[in-house]
Amino acid sequence: MLETPHDVLQFLLRLGYPPEDVCQTLMETFGTTEGLAREMARVYARRIQEEDIDFAHTVIEHEAAIAAEWRE
């Protein structure tokens, strides 16, 4: 299930662990360098935030469309 550093990274970030803790886990578990672990955590955390924002926009747009239908 969680076989690669990328899998572990995404899993821990989605669970809400701070990027610093995720970096430490990657370094201890996979021997990842500190620089690489920090860069990976930063990139993936940003990607997850962007996905969350896109999802929120989709929900808002859907709710606005439903509200518009009800007004008609």
Per-position pLDDT tens, the chain of length 72: 777 888 888 889 999 999 899 999 889 988 989 999 999 899 999 999 999 999 999 999 999 989 888 887
Residue 16 DSSP one-character state:
T
Report the length, in residues, of the chain: 72
Q: How high is the pLDDT of residue 4?
A: 81
pLDDT recorded at residue 30: 87
Parent domain of 44 = 5-71
For the chain, how many structural domains are there in total? 1
d(CA 40, CA 32): 10
DSSP state of 48: H
Residue whose entry in the numeric block shows the structure tokens 């997850």: 48
pLDDT of residue 7: 85
